[in-house]
Homo-oligomer: A and B are copies of this chain.
């Protein structure tokens, strides 16, 4: 993509909203645009990152045998009445249609997926079953805060599992727990599996918490085994539930995912049951597993930046290479790199100084910067710098593709 054509505009000024650095950096670098408090547009750069996050999560959900579906945001009131959450869910957007019917804008989909699963699940042969979606959700927050970490509208992955018994749920729950660790590592945000309150079925649920000053949670991390405990339930724990040692440190963190044993909480109100091997009817045992993609995007920036700008982890970077032309055209190299399959942002702008181009490349944060200038061309070379390293390297143009692929 030629940067002269890219729809974005970096801002000279820092954003006024200072409670989350990710908001400021993503806005300043032209990845997102705030429409209203807690409501954002993803500009081309931001959407590219969001799509990469989405694809990583989709791959890993398929690896744990999740089948992708897409449920609607508009949910009939009756479904939410069935569980009592029409009244009790604290951040439910409610809207009335011209048909005088009331709808919720779904912040989660247990009320939809349980009666849906009931249409297919009859016997133990239909279980286990794993369904996920990547879908836009809504939360009627009184106050939006922390930039894109807590918004009124956001993209979320929610996986739901259905089992014959608790043992099977337990096995799958562990599998998803491993999957989550893998996902957050791929996304460039180390996360701590954190004990949290569990509702009435299970004593605990688990959150995945990434350390950042912008986070809303306080967690206690075991210095021995890296398991963490959310402050909300810390009182109970004198010792680490994993290793038994009493040695914790307190940290601020952002919840990027959670996994939850639902048990029969939703299968009972929706009469979701199956016939077991003995011909008896039993309620289906459920689990649910969420990751907030929009919040992940913000958290990646919270933990991957320096004083010059964003430092994108390779797997989620909007482009592989930022190609800067200084005084001499880099058009031929641009074409060659694109033909070789690299994603290249080509700074072909004629009205920007070298200094402006360098500063903006650091702000945008693409992993690899390649500079073409009269100075490098004198040596038939380009200058290469990684965003997260200081070292500058001259590489012969004829060796460039080989160098990049090695």
Hey, which bits of chain A sit against chain B, CB under 8 A?
A: 5-9, 33, 35-37, 39-44, 47, 50, 65, 67-76, 79, 91, 93-95, 97-99, 101, 105, 112, 116, 119-120, 129, 131, 136, 138, 140-143, 152-153
Contacts and interface: CB of A to CB of B under 8 A. Distances in A.
A114 to B, nearest CB: 12
Contact of A72 (B39, B71, B120): B39
A246 to B, nearest CB: 41
A72 B105 contact: no
Given A142-B98, A152-B97, A74 B6 contact: no
A105 B98 CA distance: 13
A-B pairs, top 9 by smallest CB distance, nearest first, are: A95-B95, A42-B70, A98-B142, A36-B76, A44-B67, A39-B72, A41-B71, A9-B120, A74-B153
A152 B97 CA distance: 9
A269 B406 CA distance: 54
Contacts of A95: 93-95, 105
A35 B76 contact: yes
Contacts of A39: 72, 74, 76
Contacts of A7: 67, 69, 120, 129, 131
A41 B116 contact: yes
Contact of A74 (B67, B68, B152): B152
Contact of A75 (B35, B119, B138, B142): B35
A166 B57 CA distance: 44
Contacts of A44: 67-69
A39 B109 CA distance: 14
Given A41-B70, A41-B71, A74-B138, 9 more contacts: A5-B67, A33-B119, A35-B79, A35-B112, A44-B68, A44-B69, A50-B70, A73-B136, A98-B140
Contacts of A79: 35
Given A7-B129, A41-B112, A35 B72 contact: yes
A142 B99 contact: yes
A88 B109 CA distance: 33
Contacts of A140: 97-98
Given A9-B119, A73-B136, A68 B94 contact: no
A212 B95 CA distance: 34
Contact of A141 (B72, B98, B141): B98
B98 A69 contact: no
B72 A43 contact: no
A69 B97 contact: no
A101 B144 CA distance: 12
A163 to B, nearest CB: 15
A76 B34 CA distance: 12
Contacts of A131: 7
Contacts of A5: 65, 67
Contacts of A72: 35, 39-41, 153
A8 B116 contact: no
A101 B101 CA distance: 21
A255 to B, nearest CB: 21
B69 A143 contact: no
Residue among A36, A72, A91, A95 with most chain B CB within 10 A:
A72
Contacts of A43: 69
